Amino acid sequence: MAPVTGSRDGGTGGPQGARLPSVRPDLGALSGYHSAQVDVDVRLNTNESPMAPPAAWTEALGNRLADVEFNRYPDRQATELRRALARSHGVAPEQVFCANGSNEVLQSLLLAYGGAGRSVALFEPTYTLHGHIARITGTGVLAGRRTDDFRLDLAEVGRITASGDPVITFLASPNNPTGRAEPADVVEAVLSLAPGLLVVDEAYGQFAPSSSLDLLTAGGAGSDRLAVVRTFSKTWSMAGVRLGYLVAAPEVVEACELVALPYHLDSIKQLAGVLALGFVDEMESRVALLKEERGRIAAAFAELPLESWPSDANFILFRPTGKEAKSVWSDLLAASVLVRDCSEWPGLAGCLRVTVGLPEENDRFLAALTESLR
């Protein structure tokens, strides 16, 4: 993205030399994070849930909308929502901060703890937005590498965390776009190496065999420096609502509240979140179905000319071996199947990522992929 230079003149007056300012020079080097929003039959590019929320949730939300006082600002403390989330995780409401998607949770953490002269640590390839939001907030990024099979290398974690004094160390678990979750002992080891706050982004946490929430609620050494971030966008089928949260020590929640705009969580979103928590069984059965489908895709991959990596999430990273990733991506698009092209992301040459969809969507994807790789 080229920086906007603002050199147009001929405006509506103002002092001599008045002009549209140029944007911050440090933003010029940042390009946006966008996945194509193309109209296709089978959309497997943004790790959303392929299913609508339960009909009973939609109905309950519709019924309760009439009670919303639309002329009043929402509950600034999101009391009911935080209480419900706290109950679901066995923590206190003071340990929960909610925002507009987990991306805004990450932004709040970076606004509170990052900034000029400070840095964060992360291990690539990982979720691009950790580094991207850090840079937007003027925070330095200490970027380490994962191993060739995308695992964390604790020696590298030690080297990177000791190379600066990162205020935050980020892990995504399961890691996007590579798929694997970090086992609890690895998270504990990273916590013992990180000098500041360890943020474990569990956007796909419900698909994984373990969660760092257990580490946090167990209250062991360093658990007051651990924040776990979650979202309603994936397993809860609510990407359109934009709701995410973190669970951490009350001090971390207070820090995020310092930088959150007043009334940033609208009344409908708060209500939608509270109601969703009444549908845990439905959510879990969706997760089970998607995990089964993930296994089916992985088994089909084993028969195709491609390399792929084990996934604990609702997506799988793969690298076609006999054909350029971009041309496979185009073949899929021609068959009206959209996947994510990661082939130009650092450390991911030749890779594509597919989100697990409904059984019939996965069938379409596998048929189109088989045809492309034939």
The footprint of ligand PMP (CB under 6 A) covers 47, 101-103, 127, 172, 176, 201, 203, 231, 233, 239, 244
With contact defined as beta carbons under 8 Å apart, do 237 and 286 qualify?
yes
- Least distance from ligand PMP to the Cβ atom of residue 174, Å: 8
Tell me how crowded residue 213 is: count the other CB atoms within 10 A of its CB: 18
- Least distance from ligand PMP to the Cβ atom of residue 205, Å: 10
Give CA–CA dist 184/188, Å, rounded. 6
Nearer to ligand PMP, 114 or 366 (CB): 114
* 119-124 and 140-145 strand pairing: parallel
Nearer to ligand PMP, 103 or 267 (CB): 103
Nearer to ligand PMP, 182 or 368 (CB): 182
Nearer to ligand PMP, 101 or 350 (CB): 101
- Least distance from ligand PMP to the Cβ atom of residue 328, Å: 22
294-297 long-range Cβ contacts below 8 angstroms, 24+ apart: 294/207, 294/356, 296/359, 296/362, 297/354, 297/356, 297/362, 297/365, 297/366
- Least distance from ligand PMP to the Cβ atom of residue 175, Å: 8
Q: How far is CA 150 from CA 128, 172, 176, 286, 370, in A?
A: 15, 12, 11, 27, 26
- Least distance from ligand PMP to the Cβ atom of residue 89, Å: 17
Tell me how crowded residue 20 is: count the other CB atoms within 10 A of its CB: 12
- Least distance from ligand PMP to the Cβ atom of residue 178, Å: 11
Nearer to ligand PMP, 141 or 366 (CB): 141
Q: Which two tokens stand for residue 325?
A: 């990733």
* 337-341 and 306-308 strand pairing: unpaired
Nearer to ligand PMP, 176 or 311 (CB): 176
- Least distance from ligand PMP to the Cβ atom of residue 274, Å: 17
Peptide bond into 125 cis (omega under 30): yes
What are the φ and ψ backbone dihedral angles of 163, each rounded to 5 degrees?
A: -80, -15
Nearer to ligand PMP, 172 or 369 (CB): 172
Indicate the residue whose CB is closest to ligand PMP.
101
Give CA–CA dist 51/185, Å, rounded. 34
* 315-320 and 306-308 strand pairing: antiparallel
Nearer to ligand PMP, 213 or 366 (CB): 213
- Least distance from ligand PMP to the Cβ atom of residue 206, Å: 13
